Amino acid sequence: MPESNDYGEYGDESLLTDLPLWADDDARIRLSHVCSLHKIPVDVITELVALQRERQHQERAAGIFARFEEILGRID
């Protein structure tokens, strides 16, 4: 069974539910497996994708690189 939906600071599930990795159970299982193999928490990937989608309409995403570093900093 895939991990629970943890969208971190970006709790708007609608940012991700249209994507196959979050909408399809088999895809979520594969994502979890790949993340486990590489020791990357699924919530880190989830939060990075949610952040990118949230800001994709902005011409300049001020502060996005600092936020990326903060999210990626959670990887052991």
pLDDT at residue number 4: 42
Cα→Cα distances 62→43, 55, 56, 66, 71, Å = 23, 10, 12, 9, 16
Q: Is 23 helix (H, G, I), strand (E, B) or coil?
A: helix
Q: How confident is the model at residue 15 (pLDDT cuts 50, 70, 90)?
A: confident
Per-residue pLDDT at 49 exceeds 70 = yes
User: Rounded mean pLDDT of 35-46?
Assistant: 94
With a pLDDT cut of 70, the percent of the chain lying above it is 80
Per-residue pLDDT at 5 exceeds 70 = no
pLDDT at residue number 13: 58
pLDDT at residue number 54: 85
Please report which residue ranges of the chain form alpha helices under DSSP H: 20-23, 25-37, 42-55, 64-72
Q: Is 39 helix (H, G, I), strand (E, B) or coil?
A: coil
